[in-house]
Amino acid sequence: MAGTRLEHARANVADLAAAVEWYTTVLGFEVESYWPPEAPNYVHFVTAAGATFALMEAEGRGARFNFTVDDPDALWARLKDVAVVIEPLFDTAYGTRKFTIADPDGNELGFVRNG
């Protein structure tokens, strides 16, 4: 497994339109593409910092995404009252600062600053 990097992650959601609305309005992510064009059930996102991931309208829930951010405190202040909190902002014993929220389908989104 040496050199293994996460290249693509996808979470399954119950309602693609509602999930896209949440990710774009609450988190400010941008849609890069939808698929298939005639009846999309899949969306690929990008963020300003380059994180990429996808959502698909399908059965089965339960993904976890961890995003590295420069200022978790500022992001926490913006999100803590508009999202379901899994873990409030805290400093870990191993030197990171992080918090975790859930999207409308219960997928966990961790935001962490290393060091």
For residue 7, is pLDDT > 70? Answer: no
For residue 53, is pLDDT > 50? Answer: yes
- pLDDT tens-digit map of 17-47: 999 999 999 988 899 999 888 899 999 998 7
Q: How far is CA 34 from the centre of its chain?
A: 17
pTM of the model: 0.71
Structural domains of the chain, with CATH: 10-114 (3.10.180.10)
The Cα–Cα gap between 27 and 2 comes to: 32
Q: How far is CA 8 from CA 5, 46, 59, 89, in A?
A: 9, 11, 19, 26
Q: What are phi and psi of 54, to 5 degrees?
A: -135, 160
Lowest-pLDDT range of 2-6, 24-28, 35-39, 96-100: 2-6
The Cα–Cα gap between 2 and 102 comes to: 30
